[in-house]
Amino acid sequence: MPLKSRRGDHRLGTGQATREFFFVEDAAAAIVLATESYNKSEPVNIGPGFEISIKDLVALIAELTDFKGKITWDPTKPDGQPRRMLDTTRAFQEFGFKAKTGFREGLKKTIDWYRADRL
């Protein structure tokens, strides 16, 4: 079932800014692993180690939801912070964490959950 846009198809900015998204099952696994294996005071970033542009994210969501509407961008509006991605090197070095769920797979699972439980 295609998802329908509730507020139109207009997006702010150019879509060039990038963001990092972390699948919840991987986040839970990282927290458990850190709790069991890490006993230092220095903070450790956990995350997937992958970033995607907002434009590519919107295109992928449109593909996975069978959205056929028009998507427009407004370059006169700000993109926000250009990049958001954590350095997760320490998580791998200290307790061997590396996210297992690919971005597309995690997004598809999230969309499927939303359709089953929210629509």
CA atoms within 13 A on the CB side of 68: 2
Taking the model in full, what pTM does it have? 0.82
pLDDT tens profile 21-38: 999 999 999 999 999 999
* pLDDT band at residue 118 under the 50/70/90 scheme: confident
Which 3 state secondary structure label does DSSP give 70?
Answer: coil
Alpha helices in the chain (DSSP H): 24-37, 54-64, 89-95, 103-118
**Contact, 103 vs 50, CB < 8 A?**
yes
Torsion region of 40: left, alpha or beta (phi above 0 gives left; psi -120 to 50 gives alpha): beta
Torsion region of 82: left, alpha or beta (phi above 0 gives left; psi -120 to 50 gives alpha): alpha
pLDDT tens profile 89-109: 999 999 999 999 999 999 999
